[in-house]
Amino acid sequence: MIDVSIADDLAARLDVIRRLGRDHLRPLGIEADRNGAPVPPDHPFFALAWRMGLGQPLGVEDRGAAAGPRTAARRGVLLAEEMSYWDRGMSVAMPGLGLGGPPLFAMGTPEQKERFLAPFRDRERPHWAAFAMTEPGAGSDVAAIQTTAVRDGDAWRLDGAKTFISNAMRADWIVVWATVDRSAGRAGHRAFIVERGTPGLEDMRHEHKMGLIAYESSSFVLRDCRVPAANLLGGERHYAERAGFKGAMKSFNATRPAIAAMAVGIARAAYDAAREFARAHHALDRPRPRSQRVREKLARMARKIEAARLLCWRAAWLADEEQPNEVEASMAKAFAAGIAQEATGLAVEILGDAGVTADGYVEKLYRDVKAMDIVEGTGQIQRIVIARRLVGLPH
């Protein structure tokens, strides 16, 4: 049986996020969208949120240090939905480990965890980390990455390019995936922690997106980038057991329920905006065809949002129970992203002309939501994963 109860401390944290969301997250997200630029890392809000302990809620933890019932994934799903409801771009822009956390917790040695987590215990100045898998020629097919890693004495030399990496320009360190043998596919994968200022980490540039403007998506080049051997995530022994690619996939399966919950949050925001508009314009209480169509659209949005939320909770519960959740995580990601796109589209239809104006909130959500079908594996890839597991095809 899935436990969906909310502990008192989590309920209190959700209340804090609601207040911050109303006063800061949504206004800052709208402001960034209209300015066409991410919220800078030195913005006072980030320092305030960091002091309050509100980092990115991706539902990951150091399993070796966890005590008592494991609830990180379920907590992460609830927090991710609430923050994304107020603004998904701002939820990603928040300080914290982000997607860099799961591989460090899952693969890192005790020494690596102590070294690279230490700055994040400082509550005076915000810190970010990042995760770099995507390349110009390897997005959904992560097994096709071309960035190379060559052992060079007491270091590794990395060469390649990464693109659309969240928060890379402000990160203390980036988990960079590379290959020691392009012909080996997944077996050649290695993960390295590349620290800010490392020579050869070059050409950092901000990519302009159609939505989710509040957080930066960056591209960069690794050019003869020498990384100490101690920064090979997990050490040599980890890869001798052929666990490199599995480490990446384990990270994705741990965070996909939270990413899916972010899509649910956007869908909820679109639903609330459409419902409030319909009420304000008396589009719900009149016995005429348009009112009936609006009611039907709102009902469709509500039931699909609820179904998507339940899929997220189930995938997160399995993660907390340390049970396989690859299919469930992919189901949640594919379904939630799809209904979020449907919900924002229906909201635009309900608002009519007001739904497509360039300075309108629903129009912003309509642009923001498309990325949810792309990040951490496209909807098409998720459906392939589901189909393969259901019919027993080889990976």
Q: What kind and span of H or E run contains 151?
A: strand 148-152
Looking at the DSSP assignment, which residues form a beta bridge with residue 177?
A: 191
β-strands 173-179, 217-228 pairing = unpaired
Distance of alpha carbon 316 from alpha carbon 22, whole angstroms: 27
Q: Which residues contact 240 (CB under 8 A, 6 or more apart)?
A: none
Q: Is 153 helix (H, G, I), strand (E, B) or coil?
A: coil
> What CA–CA distance (Å, rounded) separates 187 from 30?
43
* CA proximity to 266, closest of 211, 196, 209: 211
In this structure, what token pair is assigned to residue 116? 């690279």
Reported in sequence order, the residue ranges of 167-296 that DSSP labels E, i.e. its strands, are: 173-179, 189-195, 201-207, 217-228
Closest CA to 177 of 60, 165, 167, 111: 165
Burial of 229 (0-12, 13-18, 19+ CB in 10 A): middle
Residue 348 Cα distances to 167, 285, 356, angstroms = 30, 20, 7
Beta bridge partners of 108: none
Decide: 317 and 3 in contact? Cβ < 8 Å.
yes
Return the half-sphere exposure (C-beta side, CA atoms, 13 A cut-off) of residue 227: 30
Element (H, E) at 379: helix 379-391
The rounded distance, in Å, linking the Cα atoms of 223 and 78 is: 40
Question: Does 376 qualify as catalytic in the annotation?
Answer: yes
Give the tokens for residue 122.
Answer: 């400082």
The token pair that represents 387 in the structure block: 């189909």
For residues 369 and 383, give the distance between their C-alpha atoms in angstroms, rounded to a whole number: 19
Catalytic residues: 376
